[in-house]
Amino acid sequence: MKFGNLNIGVRLAAGFGLMLALLIACVLLSMNRMAAVQGSLERIVEVNNVEMGLATAMRVTVTDRMLALRNVALLNDANEMAPEIERIKRQKDKYDETEARLAKMFSDLPDTSPEEKAFMGRIKEAESVILPVMAKALALGQAGKSDEAIKVMIHDVRPLQNKWLGELNGLIDLEQKRSDQASVDARKAYEAARTELISLGVGASVVGLLFAFLITRSITKPINVAVALAEKVASGDLTSEIEVTTTDETGKLLRAMKNMNESLVRIVTEANSSAEAVASASEEVSATAQALSQSASEQAAGVEQTSASIEQMTASISQNTENAKVTDGMASRSAEGAVEGGEAVKATAGAMNQIAQKIGIIDDIAYQTNLLALNAAIEAARAGEHGKGFAVVAAEVRKLAERSQVAAQEISSVAGSSVELAQRAGKLLDEMVPNIKKTSDLVQEITAASEEQSTGVSQINSAIGQLSMATQQNASSSEELAATAEELSGQAEQLQQTMSFFRLARDAGGHARSKPAKPAAPGRRAPAAKPAPTRFGSGLTLAPAAAGAPDEADFTKF
């Protein structure tokens, strides 16, 4: 696969991965060399210097023991010898401890050299040889035989001491040489690491610069081509031929630019065709809108006349409703009066019956009075002259009784007739009350029907008012539609002029053709507050509905 066909991410990852690998190699090499240097330094500090220090301490203790032994040989006083003898024991213990530590280090460390082990063996051998001689000199000194002790010190101890110290000095020199060699090894390791790191760093820099150049060139070159293409498209030149030779992101970008260029060519071509079609259709829409406006105006006039007639009918129905309400009130009051009259007639008939009964009593009283007057006249006739005056009075009383009886009979007859008349009047009133109530109910139904009719007429009047408003709005919308159609025609021509900015391959280097723009017709202007029209990708521009346009969902169908 060509390097240029790799994705940008893969190329960047390869470049950064290589740099990271080189960086890791540098780090690992540095760590390796640093570990070597650290090992040498640790050998110097923790092994060689310690071993040399222990050997030096052993030499110091040997020298100190020899000085104490010499003092014992020279001194004759036991009290003065005691500190020196104690000093010899103390230095011996210190020597034994130091020797044990050094021997343990030699046995534990895997890199202990044979020379070190040989020196350690010879030191132990020298110690084992000199110790009996030192004990002999010490015993002579303690016994007060200073001369013999000094002779032993000079002739026996001194040669063995020199050999012992010579072995210790040899071990110290060996450890010093090993420390110096470790220091040299550390310096060489550092110099080698420095040389390798510089070489690796230079190589990594060269490789990194090479990869950076290749990656940058593989990215910027196609992007520059895309930028040049975008600038040509921005200047209206759509005649470019784009060749895509790679499959990476820049190749995808160029392929997308190619598709965009082809889409723009297709859109410009369709926009020119759509603009011509819109210009033609807008003229037809303008003519239709003017005719619709005229019809709407005539319809509005008819609706206004209908509205006036409905208002008159509404006034008549309202008057009938008021009259029906008044009649209903009168009928209700008449029904109540008839009911009260029937009750009064019934009460009158009852009173007449009572009067007739009372008059019957008066008739009986008159009849009995007449009989008494007749008896009084008979008794007065029997009395003769003495009873004439009483007879006259009895005659008058009888006349009055007869007249009372006649009047009572007449009144009784009249009362009977009145009772019959009252009963007939009561029956008539009883028959009138249901009719009056029925009349009142009918009047109430008429009133309710009139109110419903008035409500319906009001709704009709409101609907006609809405219809009138809608008709007027339709007329206004028709005028606006005509103005919008004229504006649409102007916008279509302006779109053609705008599309002429682009140059297509079929134009042979010229601009896309379009009809010359003509000024908009001086027709009615659309309202200033009308919102901006919505533009669609096909080049069409649709004007929004008028602000006050009625909603057909609010109309009531009859």
If asked whether residues 259 and 403 sit together in one domain, one would say: yes
Q: 111 in a domain, yes or no?
A: yes
Q: What are 118's two structure tokens? A: 């040989």
- If asked whether residues 212 and 260 sit together in one domain, one would say no
Name 247's Cβ contacts closer than 8 Å, sequence gap at least 6.
5
Number of domains in the chain: 2
Among positive and negative, which fits the CA dihedral 125, 128, 132, 133? positive
Which pLDDT belongs to residue 132? 92
Contact call for residues 59 and 136 (beta carbons, < 8 A) = no
From 221, 240, 261, give the residue that closes a domain: 221
Q: What is the pLDDT of residue 375?
A: 83
Comparing 90-99, 179-188, 293-302, the range with the smallest average pLDDT is 293-302
Q: Could you tell me if residue 2 is inside a domain? A: no
514 or 213: which carries more pLDDT confidence? 213
Segment 60-74 shows an average pLDDT of: 88
Nearest residue to 531 via CA among 542, 518, 520, 540: 542
Q: How high is the pLDDT of residue 508?
A: 44
Rounded to whole angstroms, how far apart are CA atoms 196 and 201?
Answer: 8
Q: Is residue 87 part of a domain?
A: yes
If you average pLDDT over residues 522-534, what whole number do you get?
39
From CA 482, how far away is CA 495, in angstroms rounded?
20
Question: In terms of domains, do 23 and 148 share one?
Answer: yes
Within a domain: 229: no
User: Tokens standing for 511?
Assistant: 């601009």
Residue with tokens 């530590």: 101
**143 and 46: one domain?**
yes
Is residue 1 one of the residues assigned to a domain?
Answer: no
Whether 415 and 466 share a structural domain: yes
CATH number of the domain to which 217 belongs:
1.20.120.1730
- Determine contact, residues 550/462, Cβ cutoff 8 Å: no
Q: What angle do CA 150, 153, 154 make, to 5 degrees?
A: 85
- pLDDT tens readout for residues 324-376: 777 777 777 777 777 777 777 777 777 777 877 777 788 788 788 878 877 87
C-alpha–C-alpha distance, residues 286 and 522, integer Å: 12
Distance (Å, rounded) from C-alpha 211 to C-alpha 15? Answer: 6
Do 398 and 505 share a structural domain?
yes
pLDDT computed for residue 346 by the predictor: 74
Q: Is the pLDDT of residue 513 over 70?
A: no
Q: Are residues 198 and 270 in the same domain?
A: no
Using alpha carbons, select from 239, 267, 230 the residue that is nearest to residue 508: 239
Tokens 């090993």 identify what position? 178
Q: For residue 549, is pLDDT > 50?
A: no
Alpha carbon 446 to its chain's center: 63
Residue 153 domain-assigned (yes or no): yes
pLDDT mean across residues, the chain: 75
Place of tokens 């890791």: 24
* Percent of residues, the chain, with pLDDT higher than 90: 3
Pick the last residue of a domain from 181, 200, 221.
Answer: 221
Is 224 within 8 Å of 250 (Cβ atoms)? no
Quick one: 515 and 463 in the same domain?
A: yes
What SS3 class is residue 551?
Answer: coil
pLDDT tens digit sequence for 194-205: 887 788 788 878
Q: Is residue 237 part of a domain?
A: no
Residue 485 has pLDDT above 80, yes or no: no
Distance (Å, whole) CA 506 – CA 428: 111
Region 245-252: mean pLDDT is 70
φ/ψ (deg, to 5) at 145: -95, 70
Q: What is the DSSP letter of 43?
A: I
Query: How many residues comprise the chain?
Result: 558
Q: Is the pLDDT of residue 64 over 80?
A: yes
The pair phi, psi for residue 237, each rounded to 5°, is -90, 110
| Residue 26 pLDDT | 73
Predicted local confidence at residue 34, as pLDDT: 65
Q: Are 450 and 317 in contact (CB under 8 A)?
A: yes
117 and 23 belong to one structural domain: yes
90 pLDDT band (50/70/90 cuts)?
Answer: very high
| In contact, 515 and 496? CB cutoff 8 Å | yes
User: 217 and 100 share a domain?
Assistant: yes
pLDDT of residue 531: 37
On whether residue 389 sits in a domain, the answer given is: yes
Structure tokens at 307: 């509205």
Whether the CB-CB separation of 530 and 512 falls below 8 Å is answered with no
Q: Are residues 266 and 390 in the same domain?
A: yes
Q: Domain boundary residue among 206, 221, 236?
A: 221
- CATH at 358: 1.10.287.950
Task: Please tell me whether residues 43 and 99 are part of one structural domain.
Answer: yes
Mean pLDDT value across residues 446-468 = 78
Residue 307, by phi and psi: left (phi above 0), alpha (psi -120 to 50) or beta?
alpha
Q: Give 458-477 pLDDT, tens digit per residue.
A: 788 788 778 778 777 777 77
Residue at token pair 């280090």: 105
For the cut 60, the answer to whether the pLDDT of residue 528 exceeds it is: no
State pLDDT tens for residues 372-408. Answer: 877 877 877 777 777 777 777 777 777 887 787 788 7
For residue 370, give its domain range: 251-554
504 burial (CB, 10 Å; 0-12 / 13-18 / 19+) is: buried
Q: For residue 508, is it left (φ>0), alpha (ψ between -120 and 50) or beta?
A: left
pTM for this one? 0.36
Pick the closest to residue 530 from 512, 557, 548, 551 (CA basis): 548
